[in-house]
């Protein structure tokens, strides 16, 4: 990558239990060997706004769905523009950013309770600031996702019920159809082995580097 070239922005998407965190770690290991300058991060963040979201998602706080959506939007904008570690600046400086969830997660998850149009409008500022070069969606059957969640988590979060994950997955697929031509989305079959999934992700990412 040339010194004056912007970094690539890669957003990972998927229902809970899809294996995003594992695949981001494997991709990071690969990029490190390739000597690519990268930064991994996630939403919600560990900022004060993100901490409120975590409390809501784990049931320690309660809030109206519109309030939750607004908190995600505020956390996202701070994540982009924060003077200390904002990712927009990192990308402009040539660092590839790998994000665990971005605004497509808001569309899929929060449209369970809110109109999709409202969510798209609320996230327009983030989209104008930084749109991913590619959204990698790890598609997994909700039943398998629940098996993974049950084996790996001590406490389930707000959306971690099979019926809700089924709804979220449908929402993702509907969003992809709706935004075809606007968003670069690559769907990866996540029902396979970790290595098979990782190989497809590496092949996808290298097309953008």
Q: Is 151 annotated as a binding residue?
A: no
Q: Which distant-in-sequence residues (6+ apart) come within 8 Å of 174 by Cβ?
A: none
For the record, the structure tokens of 203 come out as 């092949």
Give burial (CB, 10 Å; 0-12/13-18/19+) of 24.
buried
Q: Is 47 annotated as a binding residue?
A: no
- The Cα 169–Cα 147 span in angstroms is 16
Largest alpha-carbon pair distance within the chain? 47
For the record, the structure tokens of 91 come out as 């990308």
Pick from 46, 81, 75, 159: which is nearest to 67 by CA? 75
Q: Is 163 annotated as a binding residue?
A: no
Q: Is 7 annotated as a binding residue?
A: no
Count of all residues that appear for the chain in the document? 209
Q: Give SS3 for 168.
A: helix
Q: Is 15 annotated as a binding residue?
A: yes
Q: Is 16 annotated as a binding residue?
A: yes
Q: Is 18 annotated as a binding residue?
A: yes
Q: Point out the annotated binding site for ATP.
A: 14-21
Q: What residue numbers does the annotated binding site cover?
A: 14-21
């Amino acid at each position: 990558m040339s010194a004056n070239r912007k970094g690539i922005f890669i957003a990972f998407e998927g229902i809970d239990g899809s294996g995003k965190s594992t695949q981001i770690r494997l991709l990071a290991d690969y990029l490190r060997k390739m000597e690519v300058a990268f930064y991994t991060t996630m939403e919600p963040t560990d900022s004060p706004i993100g901490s409120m979201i975590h409390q809501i998602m784990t049931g320690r706080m309660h809030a109206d769905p519109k309030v939750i959506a607004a908190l995600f939007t505020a956390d996202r904008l701070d994540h982009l523009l924060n003077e200390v570690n904002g990712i927009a600046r990192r990308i402009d400086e040539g660092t590839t950013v790998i994000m665990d969830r971005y605004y497509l997660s808001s569309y899929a998850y929060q449209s369970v309770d809110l109109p999709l149009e409202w969510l798209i409008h609320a996230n327009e500022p983030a989209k104008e600031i930084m749109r991913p070069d590619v959204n990698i969606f790890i598609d997994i059957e909700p039943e398998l996702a629940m098996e993974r969640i049950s084996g790996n988590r001590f406490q389930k979060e707000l959306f971690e019920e099979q019926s809700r994950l089924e709804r979220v997955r449908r929402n993702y697929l509907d969003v992809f159809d709706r935004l075809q031509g606007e968003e670069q989305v690559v769907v990866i079959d996540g029902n396979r082995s970790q290595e098979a999934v990782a190989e497809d992700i590496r092949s996808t990412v290298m097309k953008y580097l």
